[in-house]
Amino acid sequence: MSNSDVNTLKIFAGRNSIELTQRICDHIHLPLGQARTTLFPDGEIIVKLEEDVRGRDCYVVISTCQPVNDNLMELLIFLDCLKRASASRVTVVTPYFGYGRQDRKDEGRVPITAKLVANLITAARADRLLALDLHAAQIQGFFDLPVDHLSATPVFYNYFKSIREELGDLCLVSPDVGNVKVAESFANLLGGDLAIINKRRLSGSTVTTGNLIGDVKNKTVLMFDDMISTAGTVVEAAKLVMDKGAKQVFAAATHGVLVGMAVQRLAESPISRVVITNTVPMDGRCDSIKHKLVNLCVGPLLGEAIHRIHHNLSVSALFKGTAGTKR
């Protein structure tokens, strides 16, 4: 990073993303932007910048994970603060984009909250958005501003390539039809077969797995998804493939949301390894499964994307030779 970049590029962190943002800054040899978020006694949030941002290219990194509404409000206040301090461009970096599952009307009289959140971020005068593995690629179109949609596939590919011999005879299993493209790409990259599970969601927390299309007998099964939330889908899928004769099961997901009974379900499941990234902070929630948990860092990937955006270089070039983003 040149001296001019140090003077013009600023990266700030929300309260829940300080560790990840520091890894981003380390990758591009930039000091972490100085700002402070505090609470008034009544719970109101205030953000105070502790350095000059006038005319600077600024990035604010906040995952809108649990507590979702607090983190979302902090993001909006951060945007207002940076704009009123005369930053020349402000880019929102959401490693995990909350409300992403409310992306369509799948029944009558329900909201499309992902669009509402996009409107709020736009109204707060963000200039662009950098997101990682959105739950649905269509969410990019909800924003009336440029969106760079990254995928964590290069991070997963490097990890699984490093342990490829340990995996042995491999089968990539998509736990639902929406992730087939990514599973198929990984099957080609890692040299494995492909199988698909058809899933039916009964409610927000209940999923029933149906049929397995493909053969997993005596194979290591690797399942990919964009997130593990309650872990209902992935655990039921793991039981199904083990019943069909799989040798072992690895589960991989970009976002380890892990709410409700998720950690307990994973602890009691036949899954031998859970591979996630640090888009959502763990905060000690996963101590009971740390023997089977691998936490990969997306800091260098986000740092490289920020570097490319700042210098007006191609972001899509980051994904050549990998599985790309979810369609």
Q: Do the Cβ atoms of 20 and 61 come closer than 8 Å? A: yes
Catalytic residue (one of 10, 199, 219, 326): 199
115 is catalytic: no
Q: Cα dist. 63→48, 74, 103, 168, 221 in Å? A: 19, 10, 18, 35, 30
Q: What tokens appear for 62 in the block? A: 């906040």
Tokens 């972490």 locate to: 32
Q: Which helix (H) or strand (E) holds 271?
A: strand 271-277
Beta bridge partners of residue 62, listed in sequence order: none
DSSP assignment, residue 108? T
Q: Which residues contact 176 (CB under 8 A, 6 or more apart)?
A: 197, 198, 199, 225, 233
CA terminus-to-terminus distance, the chain:
33
By DSSP bridging, strand 207-213 and strand 193-201 are antiparallel
Q: In 10 A of CB 60, how many CB atoms?
A: 27
DSSP assignment, residue 138? G
Residues recognised as catalytic: 199
